[in-house]
Structure 1
Amino acid sequence: MIIAVSGIDTGIGKTIATGLLARALLLKGRSVITQKAVQTGCEALSDDIVVHRELMGIGLQEVDRESLTCPLVFAYPASPHLAAAMEHRRIDPEVIAKASKALQRHYQIILLEGAGGLMVPLNDELLFVDYLAREAVPLILVTSSRLGSINHTLLSLEACRHRKIVLRGLLYNRFGGEEDAAIAVDTRRFLERSLSLYGYRCPVVDLPDAASDLGKSGLEALAALVG
C-alpha cells in the first residue's frame, strides 16, 4: 500500500505529518516506512527523511542509505523541476515509482511525502498531482488554519476531484498558523463541510504538534486515515 502525503502549499507541515503518521502506524504494529519523492535544498541524504526517522523513534534504515526512500536529491532550494535543471538533469517519475516498488518488497505501507504543494511540477510536463493520478496513489492532504488555507484547500480538492484521486482525509495543522481562534475554528468547520460538497467522505483530523502530543485518541485518528 502506498499513500501520498502532500499539502496545500510549501511549509505547511507535510514532513511532520508524514513522520507522525508513520509513528502512529508503528505503535499499532504496522510495517511502515516513509519515502520522499524528491528533496531539494540538501545533498546526499534527504533532510526530511531524517526528520521522519526522529519522529518515528527509529534510526536511519538500510533503505535510507540505499537512497530508496529518497531517490532524487538536488542541492538547489527550489521547485523540483528547477532544482533538477540547475544540475542539468530532468526528473524521471519512473525513478520514484521503481523506488516505491522496491520498498514494497520490505514494508506493508509506504507513506510517500511530496515536495512543496500538491501541484508542484516534477518536470515541465508532469505535476506531482498528475503523478499520483497516474499511479493511482491515494492522498492524505495537509492543510492549516492560516489565512489563505480555505482558498488553497478548495483548489486542491478541485484538482483531486478532476483527476479522480482518492482522498483519505485532511490533516489540519494549527501550529504556526492563524492565532485567531475564531478564524481557526471556522476554517476547520468550512473545510469539513467542503469535503462532502466535493464528494469526499473522509475526516478532518487535527495534526499533533509533536510526537509527545500523540495521545491514544490522536494515535487512533491518524492510523485510521491509512486504514
Structure 2
Amino acid sequence: MKALFVAGTGTDLGKTHVACALLAAARSRGLTVEAFKPVVSGFDPHAPDDSDPARLARALGRPEAWAEVSPRRYRAPLAPNLAARLEGDTLRMDDLVADCRDWLSTRDVELALIEGAGGVMSPMTDEATNLDLMAALGLPVLLVAGSYLGTASHLLTALEVVRARGLTIAAIVVSENLDAPDLDQTLALLRAFEQQAPILSAPRAATWDADALVDTLLA
C-alpha cells in the first residue's frame, strides 16, 4: 500500500481539490483507494455535501461515506482545537495519531491518503500542530502550495520545517489561485529553488487530470 499525508503550506490552498483529483485518477486506472481526514472544522451538519469529507467520499465513489472519512467534525470555521472547545470537546494529539494509525492498519488498498487540516504549522490541539501529527505518522508528504504572490517563501519555509522533522517530500503540487501571477512563471521560480522533489501544477479547472501526479507518486 502506498500511503501519503496530504499537507498544505497554508489554509484553503486546494489540498482537497488535489486529493480528490488524485483519488479519481487512481480509480480510473483500476487502483483501489481510501482517504481519511481525521478532523475537520467549519463543518455544517445541515449541508454535509458541501464539506471536504463529502468531496473526498465522492472521489472514492462512496458519497455516503463522509462520516467515515472524517470522524471528528466541528462546526466553527476555526483551528480544530478552538472549534472543538466550542462544542465542549478537547482534541489530543495521542488520539489523532491513534485514529490515523488504526485507520491505516485496517486499509487494504493500493493508495491511501490522510489529509491534514490547515497548513503545516496550523494548530491541531492546544499543544501540537499539523506537523506533529505528520511526524508521528512518518508518511511521505504530498505538499500542496498556492500560486499566489509570496508562495515561494511559504513553500520553501514549509519544506525546511518538514524535512527538519525527518519527513520525505513525495511531490509538491502548486494549486492555481485565481488572480495570481502566471502559473508557468511561478512553477519555474519554485523549481529553481527546489530541485529535490518533483513539482507539478493543479489548475483550478474541475476537469484537471491528475494522471501525471499518479505516475509520479506510484513510480
Counterparts of residues 170-185 of structure 1 (less than 5 Å):
170-178=172-180, 180-181=181-182, 184-185=183-184
Residue 124 of structure 1 is matched in structure 2 by: 126
CA contact (8 A) 2:35 2:56 kept: yes
- Structure-2-length-normalised TM-score: 0.86
Shift in Å at residue 17 of structure 1? Answer: 0.6
Shift in Å at residue 57 of structure 1? Answer: 6.8
Residue 168 of structure 1 is matched in structure 2 by: 170
Shift in Å at residue 5 of structure 1? Answer: 0.9
Residue 93 of structure 1 is matched in structure 2 by: 93
Residue 203 of structure 1 is matched in structure 2 by: 198
Shift in Å at residue 90 of structure 1? Answer: 1.5
User: Structure 2 CA distance, aligned partners of 1:18 and 1:225?
Assistant: 14
Residue 189 of structure 1 is matched in structure 2 by: 188
CA contact (8 A) 1:69 1:99 kept: no
CA contact (8 A) 1:24 1:223 kept: yes
Q: Structure 1 residue aligned with 2:55, among 51, 55, 67?
A: 51
Residue 215 of structure 2 is matched in structure 1 by: 224
- Structure-1-length-normalised TM-score: 0.83
Shift in Å at residue 14 of structure 1? Answer: 0.8
**What are the ranges of 5 or more consecutive residues in structure 1 without an aligned counterpart?**
none
CA contact (8 A) 2:16 2:52 kept: yes
**What are the ranges of 5 or more consecutive residues in structure 2 without an aligned counterpart?**
none
Q: Percent of aligned pairs with the same residue?
A: 25
Matched, 1:136 2:138: yes
User: Structure 2 CA distance, aligned partners of 1:150 and 1:11?
Assistant: 16
The alpha-carbon distance between structure 1 residues 136 and 213, as it changes in their structure 2 partners (threshold 3 A), is: closer
Shift in Å at residue 22 of structure 1? Answer: 0.8
Residue 145 of structure 1 is matched in structure 2 by: 147
146-155 or 205-214, which deviates more: 205-214
The alpha-carbon distance between structure 1 residues 155 and 19, as it changes in their structure 2 partners (threshold 3 A), is: same
The alpha-carbon distance between structure 1 residues 103 and 134, as it changes in their structure 2 partners (threshold 3 A), is: closer
User: Structure 1 CA distance, aligned partners of 2:107 and 2:60?
Assistant: 19
The DSSP-based 3-state class of the residue aligned with 1:85 is helix
Deviations 1:8-42 (A, max 9, x none): 11110111111011111111222111111211111
The alpha-carbon distance between structure 1 residues 57 and 2, as it changes in their structure 2 partners (threshold 3 A), is: closer
RMSD: 2.2
User: Structure 2 CA distance, aligned partners of 1:137 and 1:222?
Assistant: 17
CA contact (8 A) 1:140 1:225 kept: no
* Matched letter for residue 51 of structure 1: R
CA contact (8 A) 1:68 1:99 kept: no
Residue 34 of structure 2 is matched in structure 1 by: 33
User: Structure 2 CA distance, aligned partners of 1:173 and 1:213?
Assistant: 11
User: Structure 2 CA distance, aligned partners of 1:177 and 1:73?
Assistant: 32
The DSSP-based 3-state class of the residue aligned with 2:7 is strand
Shift in Å at residue 225 of structure 1? Answer: 3.8
The DSSP-based 3-state class of the residue aligned with 1:212 is coil
User: Structure 1 CA distance, aligned partners of 2:215 and 2:97?
Assistant: 25
The alpha-carbon distance between structure 1 residues 99 and 177, as it changes in their structure 2 partners (threshold 3 A), is: farther
* Matched letter for residue 88 of structure 1: G
Shift in Å at residue 70 of structure 1? Answer: 0.8
User: Structure 2 CA distance, aligned partners of 1:59 and 1:71?
Assistant: 16
How many residue pairs were aligned?
A: 212
